[in-house]
Amino acid sequence: MKDKLQASTKYGLALHTTTPELGLAMSNFDGETRSDVWNLERQVSSLLHQYLMEFIKPQTWIDLAFIAVAKGPGGFTGTRIGVVAARTLGQQLDIPVFAISTLAAVAWSEKAKRSIEEDVQTTTIAIQMPAQRGQVFGAIYQFTPDYSGLNILLSDRVFTPEVWQDKLANWHTEYDLIEVQSNLAATVNSILELAYLDWCVGKSPDWSEASPYYGQHPVNI
């Protein structure tokens, strides 16, 4: 495993822009962590750089070891803005960029509510989120037995409500269903933590590999 971001001298930074809210989180994973969420509505693109500059202080760009970003699903414009910003930072700073599923972050945020004593079968999490045109985004994740990570049982995809309900009705294990409605940016800490887990096992994705996941075309075609 990586030493804690080189003896805590380096930080991870996470961005969450898939909704009208901006979520930022930063940590050296050795006792210093901070995060915040702002409702910027349509001003995310024009204010993102300003908020980033203020948020990272007293650290600077050269203190970053990696960038994490919510890749979607979510709003088309917001998701694109976040991924582009993360790619740009990753390219300019020559550091890895981890693109993390919005739905995976929701699942990971459930970890604090659970304990390693729980039956593993009850640690399966189905995530459901409204999509455009009456469809839904759905995914199913499972905590590892020691709660040190997530296994993808069903990757993020778009379903009609009927197909999604049928998928859940015929799922082969017990699960908890989480219906996402709002406050997605509040899971920015989960975006950062999931990226750090990958970092710790030696993953180092190039900025060019970070791509948004829209799931749907932004207009009805």
Please write the tens of the pLDDT for every residue from 188-205: 999 999 999 999 999 999
Q: What is the pLDDT of residue 190?
A: 96
| Residue 15 belongs to some domain of the structure | yes
Q: What is the pLDDT of residue 219?
A: 45
Whether residues 97 and 71 fall in one domain:
yes
Whether residues 22 and 93 fall in one domain:
yes
How confident is the prediction for the chain on average, in pLDDT?
A: 90
Q: What is the pLDDT of residue 205?
A: 97
Lowest mean pLDDT among 6-15, 36-45, 81-90, 142-151: 6-15
Q: What is the pLDDT of residue 7?
A: 47
| Residue 166 belongs to some domain of the structure | yes
Calculate mean pLDDT across residues 49-74: 96
Q: What is the pLDDT of residue 221?
A: 42
Calculate mean pLDDT across residues 65-93: 96
* Parent domain of 77: 5-102+183-209
Q: Residue 113: left if φ>0, alpha if ψ -120 to 50, beta else—which one? A: alpha
How far apart are the C-alpha atoms of 4 and 32, rounded to whole Å? 12
pLDDT tens profile 5-30: 554 579 999 999 999 999 999 999 99
Whether residues 166 and 191 fall in one domain:
no
The identity of residue 17, as a single letter, is: T
Whether residues 174 and 190 fall in one domain:
no
| Residue 217 belongs to some domain of the structure | no
Could you give the 3-state DSSP secondary structure of residue 196? Answer: helix
Q: What is the pLDDT of residue 82?
A: 97
- The model carries a pTM of 0.90
| Residue 221 belongs to some domain of the structure | no
Our count of domains for the chain comes to 2
Q: How confident is the model at residue 181 (pLDDT cuts 50, 70, 90)?
A: confident
Q: Which carries the bigger pLDDT value, residue 113 or residue 38?
A: 38
Q: What is the pLDDT of residue 112?
A: 75
Whether residues 96 and 112 fall in one domain:
no
Calculate mean pLDDT across residues 37-41: 93
Q: What is the pLDDT of residue 12?
A: 98
Whether residues 13 and 75 fall in one domain:
yes
Q: How confident is the model at residue 183 (pLDDT cuts 50, 70, 90)?
A: confident
Whether residues 187 and 174 fall in one domain:
no
C-alpha distances (whole Å) from 13 to each of 45, 62, 92, 118, 159 are: 18, 12, 15, 31, 32
Whether residues 96 and 15 fall in one domain:
yes
| Residue 40 belongs to some domain of the structure | yes
Whether residues 31 and 132 fall in one domain:
no
| Residue 86 belongs to some domain of the structure | yes
Calculate mean pLDDT across residues 62-82: 95
Which uninterrupted H or E stretch holds 49?
Answer: helix 44-55
Whether residues 168 and 124 fall in one domain:
yes
Whether residues 9 and 98 fall in one domain:
yes
